[in-house]
Amino acid sequence: MAKNKVEINGINTSKLKVLTHEEMIELFNSYKQGDKKAKDKIVEGNLKLVLSILKRYQNKCDNMDDLFQIGVVGLIKAVDNFDLSFNVRFSTYAVFMIDGEIKRYIRDNNSLRVSRSTKELSYKLINYREDYLSKNYKYPTNEEMCNYFNISPYELYKTLNSLNDVGSIFEPIYSDGGDTIYLVDQLEDKKLKDLDELLALREAMSKMKDREKIIITKRYIDGLSQAEIAEELSISQAQVSRIENNALNSVKKLIL
């Protein structure tokens, strides 16, 4: 599989048709009037959207053909539930449905054991998000989900992240045709070799507020930018920066 390219058996991905916005509106109008062939044309004209989403999962699934089929299922669900009256582009709506279907498949085939209570809550959260999306054409904010389920932001973060697939430390992260660099090669942190410092850091993290824990984890473990975190948490980038700085200052005081 070439870099940034998804290859699917039996499909010439370079020749897949892409529909214009006007063509999409015309086909949806025909489909809503009972034209089943219009639905097939909509699906065929959006297969490249499925492929674009699959690029995110090239290192997380051994069989991209299976994942493509799952993505198409999400695409079909998006076609069935889409409503032109919301004045939203179909691709904007479909990307969430396709990505959600793929994530559900990966989650259900994950070998990592998760507690029953966490798994049950995660299913409720996902079902709530998808139901909210189908009715409002956008996902609920984290605050709305926390209020609805009466949980803290940290509980929400832990529950949703418990469904992520497990990566191997021997997964290749870079290769220029010579020696391959694996994830395990990048794990050593020379500044935190001393056990006392590690224990002090863990103690400092335990005293952080929930939102500080989430932002520090996303910034320094997940590797997200402040802008990405702001979008995910539905707050401003300035707020993310302020919370991050406060958390880091608190950590420094406790471990130095």
CATH number for the domain that contains residue 218: 1.10.10.10
Is pLDDT of 82 > 60?
yes
Q: Looking at residue 4, what is its pLDDT? A: 45
Residue type, 93: Y
Tell me whether residue 130 is in a domain. no
- Phi then psi dihedrals of residue 132, to 5 deg: -65, -40
Tally of structural domains, the chain: 2
Q: Looking at residue 2, what is its pLDDT? A: 42
User: Which neighbouring-strand residues pair with 20?
Assistant: none
Q: Is the dihedral of CA 192, 194, 198, 201 positive or negative?
A: negative
Same domain for 197 and 99, yes or no, is no
Is pLDDT of 21 > 80?
yes
Tell me whether residue 37 is in a domain. yes
Instruction: Examine the fold and report which residue of 63, 94, 111 is the final residue of a domain before the chain moves on.
Output: 111
- Phi then psi dihedrals of residue 172, to 5 deg: -70, 135
Tell me whether residue 94 is in a domain. yes
User: In which band, very low, low, confident or very high, does the pLDDT at 248 lie, cut at 50, 70 and 90?
Assistant: confident
Mean pLDDT of 178-190: 53
Closest CA to 55 of 64, 63, 47: 64
**Would you state the structure tokens that stand for residue 229, as one six-digit string?**
């975190």
Kindly state the percentage of the chain with pLDDT values over 70. 71
Same domain for 193 and 107, yes or no, is no
User: In which band, very low, low, confident or very high, does the pLDDT at 190 lie, cut at 50, 70 and 90?
Assistant: very low
Mean pLDDT of 170-196: 52
Mean pLDDT of 166-186: 53
Instruction: Examine the fold and report which residue of 68, 83, 111 is the final residue of a domain before the chain moves on.
Output: 111
What is the domain range of residue 69?
Answer: 1-111
More confident call, 106 vs 228: 228
Q: Give me the CATH number covering residue 75.
A: 1.20.120.1810
Q: Looking at residue 227, what is its pLDDT? A: 87
